[in-house]
Amino acid sequence: VDDDCRVLCQQLRQRRERFDLSQAQLGGQMGVPGQVVGEWERGEVNPTLRSFILWCRILDGTVRIV
């Protein structure tokens, strides 16, 4: 997993937590198991582009690399 993706996934994890959603709840909205969301957030696996876009839309966010 590359560093840019890791940073983006960490930002999305923080946003998920601000929305008070569990990984399972977010995964349910995305059609994936919560375990997969956890793997993305920990940087173990890169989400597909489709999943990444959906993730951003659900969390109503734009993500910036700092």
pLDDT in tens, 10-60: 888 998 999 999 999 999 999 999 999 999 999 898 889 889 888 888 888
Strands (E), the chain: none
pLDDT at position 61 is 66
The label of the residue with tokens 């996934």 reads 9
pTM of the model: 0.81
pLDDT at position 23 is 96
Could you tell me which of 36, 30, 18 has the C-alpha nearest to residue 54?
30
